[in-house]
Structure 1
Amino acid sequence: MSEEEIALIDTEPSITDEKAVEVLKDYMSSESYIGEKKANTVKVISSGLVWKKNSDDRIHLAWWIRFVDSSFTTDNYPTSVWIDAHSGEMLLFDYYRD
């Protein structure tokens, strides 16, 4: 990505990390292999803003959220999700259980 393209990315998020967690829970609820019951047990371990490149090499300002839910037996091995900090789009859902 050129410097000109990087300069066009707004570094202030349009959605809060709390809103990103809502997006996460909605996404989990809509996935049949997870469902609303597990989505309601989400415990956020950490969240922060990062730069995330997607599959077409576009760079996004994203919320990186590390979390566990009732499927996990320990907080030591959380799973992660990256959500676009402007659009709320799910960029990557990395969900692996013990």
Structure 2
Amino acid sequence: MSEEEIALIDTEPSITDEKAVEILKEYMSNKPSIGEEKANSVKVISSNLVWKEDEEDKIHLAWWIRFMDSSFARDDTYPASVWIDAHSGEMLLFDYSRD
């Protein structure tokens, strides 16, 4: 994506990080392999606005949220991450690897 195209992206998010966490929890609740119990135990470690490129090389302003839930040990050094479009609320990437 060219710099001119990036310059057209609104840098003010349309949704808050709190709303992005709600989207995350809803997504997790609807995944049978995760479920509502783990979704309700989400603890956010950090949330930051970042630029995220998708599979089609399109750039999005996104909330990058690092989190843990009840399936993580307290000393787990590799939390899960999610990138949610800060304008549409679309799930761009969900990185939730458990052993």
TM more than 0.5: yes
Short-chain TM bin = over 0.9
Quick one: distance in 2 between partners of 1:48 and 1:17?
A: 8
Provide the residue aligned with 1:77 in structure 2.
78
State the alpha-carbon separation in 1 of the partners of residues 77 and 29 from structure 2: 24
Give 3-state SS (helix, strand or coil) of 2:36's partner. helix
Which residue of the partner structure matches residue 27 of structure 2?
A: 27
| Cα distance in 1 between the residues matched to 2:5 and 2:78 | 35
TM-score relative to the length of structure 1: 0.96
TM-score (norm 2): 0.95
* 1:8 is the counterpart of 2:11: no
Show structure 2 runs of 5+ residues with no match. Answer: none
Q: CA RMSD in A?
A: 0.9
Which amino acid letter does the alignment assign opposite residue 46 of structure 1?
A: S
Deviation at residue 94 of structure 1 after TM alignment? 0.1
Taking the aligned partners of 2:69 and 2:97, their CA distance within structure 1 comes to 11
Please, which runs of 5 or more residues in structure 1 have no aligned partner?
Answer: none
Q: Kindly tell me the number of residue pairs found equivalent between the two proteins.
A: 98
Deviation beyond 4 Å, 4+ runs, structure 1: none
